[in-house]
Amino acid sequence: MLEQIDLTRKMDKEEYRRKMDEMTPHLARLQRECKELGIPVMIVFEGFGAAGKGVQIGKLISALDPRGFHVHAINGESPEEQMRPFLWRFWIKTPAKGRIAIFDRSWYRRVLVDRFDGLTSDQELSYAYEEINSFERQLTDDGYVIIKLFLCIDKKEQKKRFHKLMESKSSAWRVSEGDLKRNKEYNRYKEMNEEMLQKTDSDYAPWTIVEATQREFATVKIYSAVIRCLEAKIQQVRNRKEDTGRPGAGTESQWTDESTLKTSSLNSVDLTLSYTKEEYKEKLDRLQNRIQELHGELYRRRIPVILGFEGWDAGGKGGAIKRLTAKMDPRGYQVNPTASPNDLERAHHYLWRFWNNVPKKGHIAIFDRTWYGRVMVERIEGFCTTEEWQRAYREMNDMEANWVHSGAIVRKFWLQIDKDEQERRFRERMENPDKQWKITDEDWRNREKWDQYEQAVDEMLVRTSTTYAPWIIVEGNSKYYARIKVLQSVVDAIEERLKEDKSKD
């Protein structure tokens, strides 16, 4: 979940003040409503050292009635706490109905700092994940709202902040040996955080990643996340009280402008990247030959490969797949185009048709559009309920994990183009008799929903880019560049895996 995020996100002071002026009294109102409705709320702050957890908690509580919340700073276990199961100190801190408990670090400590420090054994680690998920599930099943915020800064920024703190005697104590060690071994610690995010991002208690390089941006993002979660819960409880059927978690709030707060690095993608025709031809030739060789090696070693392609309409998926498969042995791969489900498919679970096309060991399956339709077109067009698409992130991550456990290489490509480039390509298709079939009214209609799709894609990339099955964002304005990047990424993935496998021979 930390792979595709853009840590350069900023917000200008003017906009910040305007938003805060609106959101602050609104948050206070929501707190009062939660109190009236008896909704217990837990807000968890996790993230890298010096990412600003303390400052942000201060900002958050400034909007709240102090009689209604309690801030818990979670440090190492006290002797009393060491004498009991690790969740004990959190169970006893669960808030009563209508109250808010804010955690500066939390039960995640056990799988993060304590793990890094070698205090958590492997056995304890695996129990801890089970126990954490069960803890959060039990509470949310009982009507609790759990809002989990992960504040992220990069290694350089963290180092800068530590140094600044250490310059002054009055703040130097805030930087511990452990902090410096985790900065030095930032990547190792980041991997632990990534694993934690993947294992505990659930539909009942999802994580919100907060880009914390700029304080103002982070504050607005935190306010928005808290407001969105509380509004959804309040609406759900009210609906239930009025007995009007299903919860309305899917409604968009006027208070949370998702488009400014997007997490993924999609918008900062450099779409000017390109190759000349000569560069392209030379690289293409080399990579296609290499894939041909690797394909044989995969077959000998019985390694299955699953490649998913998604992207904007006219983003160049078809062309990229064509170049990818050009020199593959046709007996060893299959391209599965994904259209709207047919009647038989609709009579099954939405993942059933993709399971049907899982490749044999040693074979390559390419999906032209994928299971991710669930969280894009189905979400936006209302073909599934809010609960269904929210649950789908976990379901798709689980499915891909199944495949990886059974030995598969899984990669997902997002072909990114900008809106102007799409229009140019649409017009070109309309004017070219050979390409007219590729463009329909629906494409133009989808284009009108660009912003909605962008928001859905953003959430998809963040929630489903895992270490075992990452998304690869392909800069697609130059078709040459895009095709080469796809081929190169596939070659890299296979070579990496073969290297691992050979090291075990």
Q: What is the pattern of x (binds its own copies, CB under 8 A) and - over residues 51-90?
A: -----------------------------x-xxxxxxx--
Nearer to its own copies, 50 or 408 (CB): 408
- Alpha-helical regions (H) of 38-185: 53-61, 79-82, 88-91, 113-116, 122-141, 155-167, 169-172, 177-184
Residues 431-470 that bind its own copies (CB under 8 A): none
Contacts of 251 (CB under 8 A, 6+ apart): 231, 232, 235
Candidate ranges 29-37, 128-136, 167-175, 283-291; the one touching its own copies (CB under 8 A): 128-136
Nearer to its own copies, 356 or 436 (CB): 356
Helices 155-167 + 186-200 axis angle, to 10 = 120
* Rounded least distance, CB 37 to its own copies, Å: 13
- Which residue in the set 8, 62, 134, 171 belongs to the binding site for its own copies (CB under 8 A)? 134
Nearer to its own copies, 350 or 413 (CB): 350
* Rounded least distance, CB 430 to its own copies, Å: 40
Distances in whole angstroms, Cα of residue 346 to Cα of each of 113, 395, 400? 46, 17, 21
Closest-CA residue to 321 (of 369, 274, 359, 255)? 369
Closest-CA residue to 70 (of 98, 95, 101)? 101
Nearer to its own copies, 356 or 467 (CB): 356
Q: Which three-class secondary structure string do you get for 273-333?
A: CCCCHHHHHHHHHHHHHHHHHHHHHHHHHCCCEEEEEEECCCCCHHHHHHHHHCCCCHHHE
Nearer to its own copies, 128 or 462 (CB): 128
* Rounded least distance, CB 235 to its own copies, Å: 17
Residues 144-163 that bind its own copies (CB under 8 A): 144
Q: Compute how many residues bind its own copies; rule: CB under 8 A.
A: 54
For the beta carbon of residue 172, count every other beta carbon within 10 angstroms.
11
- Which residue in the set 12, 65, 117, 142 belongs to the binding site for its own copies (CB under 8 A)? 142
* Rounded least distance, CB 99 to its own copies, Å: 8
DSSP bridge pairs for 43: 102, 147
* Rounded least distance, CB 288 to its own copies, Å: 26
Tokens 């077959």 sit on residue: 299
Nearer to its own copies, 38 or 76 (CB): 38
Nearer to its own copies, 290 or 391 (CB): 391
* Rounded least distance, CB 353 to its own copies, Å: 10
* Rounded least distance, CB 448 to its own copies, Å: 31
Residues 340-399 that bind its own copies (CB under 8 A): 344, 347-352, 355-356, 358-362, 391, 395, 398
- Which residue in the set 139, 375, 439, 469 belongs to the binding site for its own copies (CB under 8 A)? 139
Candidate ranges 135-143, 208-216, 268-276, 285-293; the one touching its own copies (CB under 8 A): 135-143
Nearer to its own copies, 359 or 476 (CB): 359
Distances in whole angstroms, Cα of residue 382 to Cα of each of 338, 378, 388, 389, 505? 18, 6, 10, 10, 50
Rounded Cα distance between 136 and 479, Å, is: 45
Residues 236-265 that bind its own copies (CB under 8 A): 243, 245
246-283 as b/e, with b when 16 or more CB fall inside 10 Å? ebebeeebebbebeebbbbbbeebebebebeeeebeeb
- Which residue in the set 92, 499, 503, 504 belongs to the binding site for its own copies (CB under 8 A)? 92
Residues 98-117 that bind its own copies (CB under 8 A): 98
- Which residue in the set 138, 254, 259, 289 belongs to the binding site for its own copies (CB under 8 A)? 138
Helix or strand or coil: residue 256?
Answer: coil
Alpha carbon 308 to its chain centroid, in Å, reads 17
Rounded Cα distance between 472 and 474, Å, is: 6
Spatial contact of 13 and 210, defined as CB atoms under 8 Å apart: no
Rounded Cα distance between 11 and 261, Å, is: 9
What residues line the site for its own copies (CB under 8 A)? Answer: 38, 40, 80, 82-88, 91-92, 94, 96-98, 124, 126-127, 130-131, 134, 138-139, 141-142, 144, 243, 245, 302, 304, 344, 347-352, 355-356, 358-362, 391, 395, 398, 401-403, 405-406, 408
